[in-house]
A and B are shown apart, each in its own frame.
Chain A
Amino acid sequence: MSRIDAKFAELRQDGKKAFVAYVMAGDPDFDTSLAIVRGLPAAGVDIIELGMPFTDPMADGPTIQLAGQRALEAGQTLEKTLQIVRELRQQDSTTPVVMMGYYNPIFSRGVDRFLSDAKAAGVDGLIVVDLPPEEDAELCIPAQAAGMNFIRLATPTTDDRRLPKVLQNTSGFVYYVSITGITGAANAEAGDVGPEVARIKAASGLPVVVGFGIKTPEAAQTIANVADGVVVGSAIVERIGKGAPVAEVLAFVRSLADGAHRA
């Protein structure tokens, strides 16, 4: 059983929804980022989503774009992102880590080399925004073969005709993108999201976690009510971008986690 499967089993047993926190690796610099990541499990985070910085994040809004730029300017590389996971694993062996980003840095490193390095570092899953099912042969199939979960995004434009294709090689959980748009933009509406989550759950049997447009503890609770979990990224990253101290960032994460866990 993968760490992700184990985590959802545990949450189910406790009758709790998952709280997933996204931070950009290396933002605003390696040491601060490492301190934040290390603090996430104790702040109530069930799954860590670690952004891999990329110069051209086409699906991201300004907040995540700037985070990536800060990280790259501070010298973040894919190797250093893996290093953050290695260091986290020295203190935490149960919190799943999902790496999220774009394909080119992985392709550049070489898929096989990346997968074996990521597996060894303790990475549990991958979300790669620009790899739709049509490109499964690139990374999705090799990742599954290497024992890594490949988590797919389903979106409001993924209709019933297309959904089976999207779910076909998905494992761990399904990430439902609550809006058509970029990260950190419009607000997710529980009324829209609920039926979509039900539709995807019926088709997949996997937990469905909702992300994009969730910015407050209240929203985390409302959306978590109609899903298996929520992701918050931009709202956390915005605080990191404003130079908030690590303790303050983690306190905010704690409030979001509490919101999601009240659901």
Chain B
Amino acid sequence: MAEDLFNSFMSGPDEQGRFGQFGGRFVSETLMPLILDLEAEYEKAKTDPTFWAEMDDLWANYVGRPSPLYHAERLTRHLGGAKIYMKRDELNHTGAHKINNVLGQIILARRMGKTRIIAETGAGQHGVATATVCAKFGLKCIVYMGAHDVERQAPNVFRMRLLGATVIPVTSGRGTLKDAMNDALRDWVTNVRDTFYCIGTVAGPHPYPAMVRDFQSIIGKEVREQMAAAEGRLPDTLVAAIGGGSNAMGLFYPFLDDKDVRIIGVEAGGKGVNAKMEHCASLTGGRPGVLHGNRTYLLQDDDGQILEGFSISAGLDYPGIGPEHSWLHDVGRAEYVAITDVEALEAFQLCCLQEGIIPALEPSHALAHVMKIAPKLPKDHLICMNMCGRGDKDIFTVARHLGFDMKI
């Protein structure tokens, strides 16, 4: 690790929105003034106690924070090594960590006088969270979702519609999450005056990666306090799943300067990280490029054309990753590994049977890595994995893969 080069791993991004070479503001001129406005508004809000008072109130009474830090006792015994804790962000209102960030952005949008909210969504969790908070505040909500995802995540599409959102199936490109993001950007560039783009992950042009990270950091801050209360010390290892990487960044960020805490991000390995590129592991199988407003590791061909990811989990199905993860990867502060669909499915089932928790497919990837490392670690080694979402949305996908006939 390049310890001499950095006084702190928590000081990024710089004024250009860069984490090392990653990040930046690669957007069209039409959007640039909007992004600068947002940055100014966020800088104001960051140090405004009334902003955080509103957040704290909603986090406590609307979302249900703090989420518990749970000792997974049977799983720990089953794996026979390290002591495993789960940060229960799947117990949040709307069933995932996504709402932590959405609340922050919607409060900002209200402060900026924006009345129309747009969002992209993959698995539908960010879309549901955005639709939820928009309903609460009476804001117009438009969610862009790849046509392919609209099909495989039908329950979330219905939820969003119940919550009053307009869901627009995206057929441009190949109709996946990245195309949904393209269409959301096209909407934003067309409706610049009244529209706020609520991005669901730690990616996009500056200030989004830093802003979303800050909102999600409530996860790691709570873990610090809860682990201190439970064990009287910091965890030894943190494990979280990564698509764009917002739940992981939220868990990792408050620990970046605690050099003894090992940090592991788990990418979606799909059918395996190899030349066939049927995966979404941007760091393990991609190289730096520029897409959606930032420089980061991307799945791309030799000519710089972006490739489609592949994963059983719609929430991880994105060919990029947040720029701060790319930086943490390159400077060596965090490790990144890949877990295949098959391994994630195994972890999904184990979690159901051992702990009575049906996890989302995204954190099932993190859990699968915990299953790999925990048995080899001593019993006093503390692992904290982020249970960032619940699996209700995924039971149809899992049933199909397990050959279970779901006719109701």
Q: A93 interface residue, CB < 8 Å from B?
A: no
Given A55-B305, A106-B304, A180-B192, check contact A130 B182 (CB 8 Å): no
Identify which of A59, A69, A106, A109 contacts B186 (C-beta below 8 A).
A59
C-alpha gap A240/B113 in the complex (Å)? 43
Give the distance to chain A from B206, nearest Cβ to Cβ, in Å. Answer: 9
Given A55-B173, A59-B28, A181-B189, check contact A109 B34 (CB 8 Å): no
A105-B30 in contact (CB<8A): no
Interface residues on A, range: 35 or more
Binds B, one of A32-40, A153-161, A226-234, A242-250: A153-161
Identify which of B29, B190, B300, B303 contacts A132 (C-beta below 8 A).
B29
Interface residues on B, range: 35 or more
B25-A153 in contact (CB<8A): no
Q: B306 interface residue, CB < 8 Å from A?
A: yes
Interface hub of A62, A108, A152, A182 (most chain B Cβ within 10 A): A108
Q: Please indicate the chain A residues that have their CB under 8 angstroms from the CB of B31 in the complex.
A: 157
The contact string, 1 if C-beta is below 8 Å from chain B, for chain A 12-45, is 0000000000000000000000000000000000
Q: A103 interface residue, CB < 8 Å from B?
A: yes
Q: B16's closest neighbor in chain A, by CB?
A: A134
Q: B213 interface residue, CB < 8 Å from A?
A: no
A58-B185 in contact (CB<8A): yes
Q: B33 interface residue, CB < 8 Å from A?
A: yes
Binds A, one of B103-111, B147-155, B288-296, B352-360: B288-296
Identify which of B178, B182, B293, B305 contacts A105 (C-beta below 8 A).
B305
Identify which of A106, A135, A155 contacts B24 (C-beta below 8 A).
A135
A158-B29 in contact (CB<8A): yes
Give the distance to chain B from A100, nearest Cβ to Cβ, in Å. Answer: 12
C-alpha gap A135/B295 in the complex (Å)? 11
C-alpha gap A104/B305 in the complex (Å)? 8
C-alpha gap A131/B26 in the complex (Å)? 5
Secondary structure of the A contact surface, majority rule = loop
Interface hub of B186, B289, B306 (most chain A Cβ within 10 A): B186
- CB within 8 Å of A: which B145-189 residues: 172-173, 178-179, 182, 185-186, 189
Q: Please indicate the chain A residues that have their CB under 8 angstroms from the CB of B290 in the complex.
A: 102-104, 107, 130
Interface hub of A109, A152, A162, A180 (most chain B Cβ within 10 A): A180
Q: Please indicate the chain A residues that have their CB under 8 angstroms from the CB of B304 in the complex.
A: 54, 78, 104-109
Give the distance to chain B from A241, nearest Cβ to Cβ, in Å. Answer: 14
Interface residues of A (CB under 8 A from B): 53-62, 65, 69, 72, 77-79, 102-109, 129-135, 152-159, 162, 166, 177, 180-182, 185
What are 12 A-B residue pairs whose CB atoms fall within 8 Å in the complex? A58-B28, A78-B303, A104-B290, A108-B289, A109-B304, A131-B26, A132-B29, A135-B26, A155-B28, A157-B32, A159-B33, A180-B30
7 tightest CB-CB pairs across the interface, nearest first?
A108-B304, A105-B304, A181-B190, A155-B30, A130-B26, A55-B306, A104-B304
